[in-house]
Amino acid sequence: MASRSPPLTAFGAGKVILLGEHSVVYGHPALAGPLSQGVKALGVPAKKCQLVLPSTLSRPQRAQLTAAFARAAQATGEPPVKVALEADLPLAVGLGSSAALSVACARLLLQAAGQTPTTKETARVAWEMEQEFHGTPSGVDHTTSVEERLVLYRRKPGTTVGKGRVVDSPKPLRVVVALAGERSPTKKTVGALRERQARWPERYQRLFTEIGRVASEGAEAVAAGDLEALGDAMNVNQGLLAALGLSSPPLEEMVYRLRELGALGAKLTGAGGDGGAVIGLFHEPAPAVVKLTALGVRCFSSQLAGPRAL
């Protein structure tokens, strides 16, 4: 009797954008790093390529995920495997959950097809799913998830996919991620910003350009081991995002709370809007997590780059 093959497993990391969200869509650089939290895909042999849909999804979400998985399956030759998903990442709050899911599925489907899930191939398949999820994504989310390293990402105007340059940090880069308020749909937030940008293009282009500069300066600060300079860049970026109309009272309150707890810098991460994820840069994040948790705030810490304790 033949022994059964062990289940295949693959992981896709969530992400935070340290600097540069929204402006990255308009051709400017963004600095993003991978979270230790993410999405795991598990696969077992089956008669056809199929996905077990999570029961918690709404009907539109199920339809979108089914369509996205079909694109990834087609891109890998539809290997005969049944895929299930597990996530320890908060979903739909600006932490790259769709990209993490896309990368996990891409890696697993490539394995099931007998291929090596290289960075290039994983990115190719994950990009198929991300286009189904977001229409015209910047590419920063899945690039960061695939690399699992801090990257300075830029997609030049007129190109479909951008490039990420890995940024090495000589010091541990640790953040606290805290959730605040109820998040608006990304399409609503992005659409409203696009309308304002179209109405007053010169003013908004100045803000996008400055956010891109701050992201580049932040990458230089990371490489130099200057966490205070990175924190200041994050604070300036938050002010620019607020000027773009992307912040809100719950997000601002959490930003200032993190700063009061000792954050070197704090800002929203992701689309923004009425609520979502806020990040704070800390030398030692544990005390802040303890205090926030005691206050009922949903939060966790993660190291994005730099040397890790053995």
Other Cβ atoms closer than 10 A to 58: 8
- Each residue of 28-63: pLDDT tens digit? 999 999 999 999 999 999 999 999 998 888 888 899
- Each residue of 235-292: pLDDT tens digit? 999 999 999 999 999 999 999 999 999 999 999 998 888 899 999 999 999 999 999 9
Residues in the chain: 310
Please tell me the predicted confidence (pLDDT) of residue 310. Answer: 63
User: What does DSSP say about strands 81-87 and 50-51: parallel, antiparallel, or unpaired?
Assistant: parallel
Query: Of 74, 20, 31, 32, which Cα lies nearest the Cα of 49?
Result: 74
Please tell me the predicted confidence (pLDDT) of residue 237. Answer: 98
Token representation of residue 52: 């077990």
pTM for the complete prediction?
Answer: 0.91
Q: Is 104 exposed, middle or buried (0-12, 13-18, 19+ CB in 10 A)?
A: buried
Query: Of 174, 215, 165, 178, which Cα lies nearest the Cα of 19?
Result: 215
Provide the terminal-to-terminal Cα distance of the chain, rounded to the nearest Å. Answer: 44
